[in-house]
Structure 1
Amino acid sequence: MLIDLDGMAPQDAYHLLTQTVIPRPVAWVLSENPEGDYNLAPFSFFTPITSNPPLLMISVGRKPGEGVSKDTRVNIEARKHFVVHIAHRGLASAVTESSRSLPHGDSELANLDLELADFEGAELPRLKDCHVAFACELYEIKEIGEAPQSLVFGKVTRVWVSDDVIRHDDKNRMTFDGATIDPIGRLGGSEYVTFGEVFKIPRPS
């Protein structure tokens, strides 16, 4: 089947892309609310994009039915710092619950059984139960498309990784065990995917 996107309604294009660009890593983003507590929200339009400088990008839409920017974008633009977490399968329900739309300034953490931990050298704390957390400072925000969508670029300043996932290869280089990180990936609709078989294919020299 050939599907022509020219003239397709945005919601149908979104449905098509999220069903076929799979799996997508999930950025679980902590940002600071105006009153000093924290907003927590998941985004699966997310990727690392450069290593020099080390940048991550999340694509943030608007609040459904309201046409206003989501709290994550508002908070990052105002306070310049945020933390991106990689959640594991045991946190999938909490990730989903944190996607609920709340009034601006209300904290998702008030409804979730999650602990914060100090993130040494970072402006904000991290979620204690995530194996990986990236402390980011705002690099740039670009608006793109008709909606528009906000592309938020964060410069990674520090990375926290649980000791449980750290390994060393035969050259004593630090590596990170993906199966122990156990990340969830986003499919379409309400579906997630978790790790199955892990296999290696050496790259050409």
Structure 2
Amino acid sequence: MLLDFSQLAPLDAYRWLANTVTPRPIAWVSTLSKDGVSNLAPFSFFQVISDNPATLLVNINTRADGQLKDTLRNLRDTGELVIQLVSFAQAEAMNASAAGLPHGVSEFEHCGIATQSSLRVRPPRVAGAPVAFECRVAEVQPYPRANPNSHLVFAEVLLAHVDDAVVNEAGRVDPHRLDLVGRLGGSAYTRTLDTFNMTRPA
């Protein structure tokens, strides 16, 4: 099979990419509006892009009607966000927070998701998240520049909260204790429990 992406409709291009570039980690992003309303939403176009400075990248698409999502509005207004990783135990809550709620409605409150205070930024953290990165916005880059339909958010990590329960006796994260979920295509997800080791050649 050969796919010519110049001939694919945008939805078909998305489906091919989302079904093949897998598994994708999920950024569960919390923000605050300039009026102080909390927001929580998951994004699976997400990755580490730099360790110096420590920086994460989240791609936030525009809505189908072309409007900006609340997450993007909020982090543009305040310059702050928290990126949580999603454990299997919190998968259902993460999925619930993806609902298209009206502007100004908090997913934390609507979905009954408990919060914890952050230390360096104002947005709250998801209580019980195995890892939470408190971040400040380094840059927001519309893409493509000529007619943007998404925004690349470069989030500089200020502080990380790592649950002691996912750390092993050597002080390293144990992927089985972490038990994260990753996004596959459509409504399919996976877990980080099936692992194997390989030694990188010198």
Q: Does 1:142 align with 2:141?
A: yes
State the TM-score, normalizing by the size of structure 2: 0.94
Number of aligned residue pairs? 200
Deviation at 1:123, TM superposition (A): 2.9
> Relative to structure 2, which stretch is displaced further, 53-62 or 106-115?
106-115
* Partner-residue secondary structure (3-state), 2:177: helix
Q: Please give the alpha-carbon distance, in whole angstroms, between the structure 2 residues aligned to 1:67 and 1:198.
A: 40
Q: Where do residues 33-48 of structure 1 align in structure 2 (5 Å cutoff)?
A: 33-48=33-48
Q: Please give the alpha-carbon distance, in whole angstroms, between the structure 1 residues aligned to 2:175 and 2:121.
A: 25
Q: Where do residues 18-167 of structure 1 align in structure 2 (5 Å cutoff)?
A: 18-64=18-64, 66-145=65-144, 146-167=147-168
Q: Does 1:198 align with 2:195?
A: yes
Deviation at 1:168, TM superposition (A): 4.5
State the TM-score, normalizing by the size of structure 1: 0.93
Q: Please give the alpha-carbon distance, in whole angstroms, between the structure 1 residues aligned to 2:61 and 2:194.
A: 33
5+ residue gaps in structure 1?
none
Q: Please give the alpha-carbon distance, in whole angstroms, between the structure 1 residues aligned to 2:84 and 2:3.
A: 35
Identical aligned pairs, as a percentage? 35
Q: Please give the alpha-carbon distance, in whole angstroms, between the structure 2 residues aligned to 1:74 and 1:60.
A: 11
> Relative to structure 2, which stretch is displaced further, 106-115 or 182-191?
106-115
Contact residue 57 and residue 154 of structure 1 kept, 8 A: yes
Corresponding residue of 2:180: 183
Q: Please give the alpha-carbon distance, in whole angstroms, between the structure 2 residues aligned to 1:78 and 1:194.
A: 34
Q: Does 1:7 align with 2:7?
A: yes
* Partner-residue secondary structure (3-state), 1:106: coil
- Aligned-partner residue type, residue 21 of structure 2: V
Q: Please give the alpha-carbon distance, in whole angstroms, between the structure 1 residues aligned to 2:121 and 2:8.
A: 43
Q: Please give the alpha-carbon distance, in whole angstroms, between the structure 1 residues aligned to 2:119 and 2:149.
A: 35
Contact residue 80 and residue 138 of structure 1 kept, 8 A: yes
- Aligned-partner residue type, residue 25 of structure 2: P
Q: For each residue in 1:137-183, what CA deviation from the matched residue of structure 2 results, as whole angstroms up to 9, or x when unmatched?
A: 010000112442100111000000001111244xxxx3111111111
Q: Please give the alpha-carbon distance, in whole angstroms, between the structure 2 residues aligned to 1:113 and 1:78.
A: 25
Contact residue 35 and residue 105 of structure 1 kept, 8 A: no
Q: Please give the alpha-carbon distance, in whole angstroms, between the structure 2 residues aligned to 1:38 and 1:200.
A: 40
Change (3 A) 1:187 1:59: same
Contact residue 186 and residue 192 of structure 1 kept, 8 A: yes
Q: Please give the alpha-carbon distance, in whole angstroms, between the structure 1 residues aligned to 2:120 and 2:3.
A: 49
Contact residue 39 and residue 106 of structure 2 kept, 8 A: yes
